[in-house]
A = this chain, B = another copy of it.
Amino acid sequence: MHKGEIIDKLRQMRSEDQSYTDGRILSSVSTKPLNVAIKAYEIFSDTNALDVHVFRSVEKLERGIIEWFGKLLKNRKTAGYITTGGTEANIVALFVAKKTYPKKREILVPESAHYSIQRAADLLDLRIKYVPLDRDFRVDVSEIENRINKDTLAIVATAGTSALGVVDPIEEINELCENIFFHVDAAFGGFVIPFLDSKLRLDFSIENMDSITIDPHKMGLAPIPSGAILFRNESYLDRLKTSPTYLPFQTFTLSGSRSGGAIAATWATINYLGMDGYRRVVKRCMENTRFLCRELKKIDVNILVEPELNVVGIRPKNLERVWALLREKGWNILMDTHSKSLRIVVMPHVTEKVIGEFVRDLREIV
């Protein structure tokens, strides 16, 4: 095909999808990337983060991102790397956990955890013991305590569950993790919690926390693919180091070739927004979340839990019928079958105007 033909065809196909800017995508954890990020990707589109001997610039950019995370997580020694997303990050965390306690095989995981934890356990031949939730949909810490035994390798907590944006009681779990690997999956909440005016804590001052997953491509507003796995210090990465015979250095990443473009785009995003920028983004999203909740309370839908992050789960009567009717009206909204709820992720593209239209349509339906 000719170049022009290819571009026309792609533009045409893309235009037939929904777009974030039309505002009807309600359950997405991504949003439209910044122009500066797209431009950054373009400048680095031919680079490979694996080939540090060729592309030293990419190594510098990645180091810059990890240092930035170090500030966010109040620990200058923070080590880690930019993954393709939260799944790779969760796999890497549990891989390191297994190398830390090679004789143990069991992990304790909240029932609300992301499915990638199950995937990671399946890959790594770890046994999952699921832990039930309390009535606020947080993992029940006393139930964790009941399940700990000498085979307990790791405990996983979530900071921002997929269905409801709930944050597990991280500080209480921390108390139980002296000789157990403690991983926090903050793929969604990692770019929210540090910028909230709340008592929620999510950083390496939580002394037994070993690793944390934070996705720049979710609330970090960077383009996909950009996840991050962050460890307390460099020694964790040493457990994954390998020496490919054809490379003049050791490598520890799970992926081999990695897009320097994605790293540059992430670097551009965090530097464009900065800590203050993220604080503003989070403030606006939380204001919209509270606005949404106020509007929802005027109609007969059940809000499952008072949101701490910018995710709202509702359980109207005739859940499946309401879901189908909303989709008929063009709302792209997801239902979680475990918590039996519809989820609204109040990303920056879910504006006050969008919320108003959504609640109006929902009121007509219920």
Interface string of A10-32 (1 = CB under 8 A from B): 11011011111000010110111
Besides the known contacts A6-B40, A87-B257, A115-B245, 7 further A-B residue pairs in the complex with CB atoms under 8 A apart: A14-B43, A14-B57, A42-B42, A53-B332, A84-B255, A224-B259, A246-B336
> Are A41 and B45 in contact (CB-based, < 8 A)?
yes
Query: Can you offer 22 A-B residue contacts whose CB atoms are under 8 A?
Result: A7-B36, A7-B40, A10-B43, A10-B268, A13-B57, A14-B57, A30-B46, A38-B45, A53-B332, A84-B84, A85-B256, A86-B256, A119-B242, A162-B245, A163-B245, A225-B225, A225-B255, A245-B337, A245-B338, A245-B339, A246-B338, A247-B334
A281 → chain B closest CB, angstroms: 16
Identical copies of this chain, number? 2
> Are B258 and A224 in contact (CB-based, < 8 A)?
yes
User: Considering the chains assembled together, what is the distance between the CA atoms of A17 and B25 in angstroms?
Assistant: 40
Q: What residues on B are CB-neighbors of A334 within 8 Å?
A: 53, 246-248
Q: What residues on B are CB-neighbors of A47 within 8 Å?
A: 14, 17
Q: Does A183 contact B (CB under 8 A)?
A: no
Interface string of A122-134 (1 = CB under 8 A from B): 0111000000000
Q: Does A326 contact B (CB under 8 A)?
A: no
> Are A36 and B3 in contact (CB-based, < 8 A)?
yes
Partner of A54, one of B17, B41, B56: B17
- Cβ-closest 6 pairs across A and B: A245-B338, A13-B57, A87-B256, A246-B336, A115-B244, A125-B125
**Given A44-B10, A85-B256, A224-B261 in contact, is the A246-B3 Cβ separation under 8 Å?**
no
- Which residues on A are within 8 Å of B, measured CB to CB? 1, 3, 6-7, 10-11, 13-14, 16-20, 25, 27-28, 30-33, 35-36, 38-48, 51, 53-57, 60-61, 84-88, 91, 95, 114-116, 118-119, 123-125, 162-163, 215, 217, 223-225, 242, 244-248, 254-262, 264, 267-268, 271-272, 274, 332, 334-339, 343
Main secondary structure of the interface of A (DSSP, over half): mixed
**Given A36-B6, A88-B255 in contact, is the A223-B45 Cβ separation under 8 Å?**
yes
> Are B1 and A272 in contact (CB-based, < 8 A)?
yes
User: Considering the chains assembled together, what is the distance between the CA atoms of A16 and B61 in angstroms?
Assistant: 13
Q: What residues on B are CB-neighbors of A259 within 8 Å?
A: 223-225, 262
Partner of A6, one of B45, B262, B271, B337: B271
A175 → chain B closest CB, angstroms: 29
A4 → chain B closest CB, angstroms: 9
